[in-house]
């Protein structure tokens, strides 16, 4: 089907669902998701085809803790399964919030959530050097116990404090979304689609040529870029907790950036201007999208999303 409307993929940061200093109760998350849904609907009302992806770090971390706590009574589920569970959980909450807001506006759109698998390379270097923190923070005795009893790899991620340790897992680079054909059909039909939550479930091809889940997490911004490729999006927007990308972050010469060409963005990325695990993968995802053929990628905050599309806010990465 030929597109007749602009298409945008919106990647919601985890802060859009569980705000800082919140406990993460269902009620708190529901309120945050309603705010996010109002932002998303601005694009629907203005004629965009909309695809939404989201982080799930706090939620999958909590679920892994629940698995640990109940291990004496019930068999714990693997990480890939927990990722799928939280995709469903957050997809349900976003889907319901969007449906309710659409109804209040007398807008007739279907909303659907797709549990998404993302192929990764079983020989990805990330599997030899796990570095993505997940779950709670631990003290030294708990660290030693979990390493001995469960085989967790736990590293110090804070310079000090009583609990400076966290479990780390591999974060392989996404190759492609397995459900790409179904995604295209659903988006082309005019539905609002939620997909690739938490970066999608990482899967590999086993020795029998079958897909199987693997322990790890995929960066949701890099996976969101693959989603934008899959649905032939015109725009890719990453919503985080700052309105613009900054250079020389934390230094006296710190400054915000309005616009970056791909070549310039690559230069700053290679110089280490963007924090690994934070802004760096966001900038990399934007570079990849524009190089793939997207019109423009934008990094901004949730409350500035539409202003950014109007070129009044945000950092814009362009060819």
pLDDT of residue 1: 41
Q: What is the pTM of this model?
A: 0.90
132 is catalytic: yes
Under 8 Å between Cβ of 238 and 222: no
**Dist. CA 262–CA 270, nearest whole Å:** 12
**Dist. CA 183–CA 175, nearest whole Å:** 16
Tell me how long the chain is. Answer: 319
14 is catalytic: yes
Crossing angle for the helix pair 79-104 and 57-69, to the nearest 10 degrees: 130
Q: Domain residue spans in the chain?
A: 12-122+174-318, 130-169
Active-site residue, from 132, 143, 226, 244:
132
Task: Give the residue-averaged pLDDT of 66-75.
Answer: 90
Active-site residue, from 61, 198, 282, 314:
282
Model confidence band, residue 64 (pLDDT cutoffs 50, 70, 90) = confident
Helix (H), strand (E), coil (C) string for 91-103: HHHHHHHHHHHHH
**Dist. CA 73–CA 81, nearest whole Å:** 18
Task: Give the residue-averaged pLDDT of 136-161.
Answer: 87
Q: What is the CATH number of domain 12-122+174-318?
A: 3.40.1160.10
pLDDT of residue 3: 58
Among 183, 211, 227, residue whose Cα is nearest residue 54: 227
pLDDT of residue 20: 57
Give the residue with greater pLDDT, 23 vs 213: 213
Active-site residue, from 18, 143, 220, 226:
220
Helix (H), strand (E), coil (C) string for 152-185: CCEEECCCCCCCCEEEEECCCCCCEECCHHHHHH
**Dist. CA 308–CA 300, nearest whole Å:** 7
Model confidence band, residue 2 (pLDDT cutoffs 50, 70, 90) = very low
282 is catalytic: yes
Q: DSSP code of 16?
A: G
pLDDT of residue 16: 64
Active-site residue, from 14, 196, 198, 294:
14
> Radius of gyration of the chain from Cα atoms?
19
- How much of the chain exceeds pLDDT 70, in percent? 97
Q: Return mean pLDDT, the chain.
A: 91
């Amino acid at each position: 089907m030929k597109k007749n409307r602009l298409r945008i993929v919106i990647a919601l940061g985890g802060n859009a669902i569980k705000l800082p200093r919140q406990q993460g109760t269902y009620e708190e998350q529901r309120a945050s998701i309603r705010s996010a849904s109002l932002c998303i609907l601005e694009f629907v009302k203005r004629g965009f085809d909309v695809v939404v992806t989201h982080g799930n770090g706090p939620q999958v971390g909590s679920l892994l803790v629940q698995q640990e706590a109940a291990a004496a009574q019930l068999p714990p589920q693997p990480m890939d399964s927990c990722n799928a569970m939280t995709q469903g959980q957050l997809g349900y909450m976003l889907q319901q919030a969007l449906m309710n807001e659409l109804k209040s506006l007398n807008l007739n759109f279907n909303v659907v959530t797709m549990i998404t698998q993302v192929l990764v390379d079983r020989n990805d270097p990330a599997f030899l050097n796990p570095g993505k923190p997940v779950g709670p923070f631990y003290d030294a005795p708990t660290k030693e116990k979990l390493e001995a009893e469960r085989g967790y790899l736990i590293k110090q991620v804070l310079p000090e404090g009583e609990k400076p340790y966290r479990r780390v897992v591999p974060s392989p680079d996404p190759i492609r979304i397995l459900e790409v054909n179904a995604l295209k059909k659903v988006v082309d039909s005019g539905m609002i689609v939620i997909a690739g939550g938490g970066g999608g479930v990482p899967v590999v091809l086993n020795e029998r040529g079958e897909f199987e889940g693997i322990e790890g997490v995929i960066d949701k911004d890099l996976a969101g870029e693959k989603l934008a490729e899959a649905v032939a999006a015109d725009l890719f927007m990453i919503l985080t907790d700052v309105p613009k990308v900054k250079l020389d972050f934390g230094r006296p010469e710190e400054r915000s950036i309005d616009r970056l060409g791909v070549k310039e963005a690559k230069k700053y990325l290679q110089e280490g201007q963007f924090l690994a695990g934070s802004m760096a993968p966001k900038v990399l995802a934007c570079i990849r999208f524009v190089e793939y053929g997207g019109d423009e990628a934008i990094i901004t905050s949730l409350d500035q999303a539409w202003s950014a599309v109007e070129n009044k806010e945000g950092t814009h990465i362009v060819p």
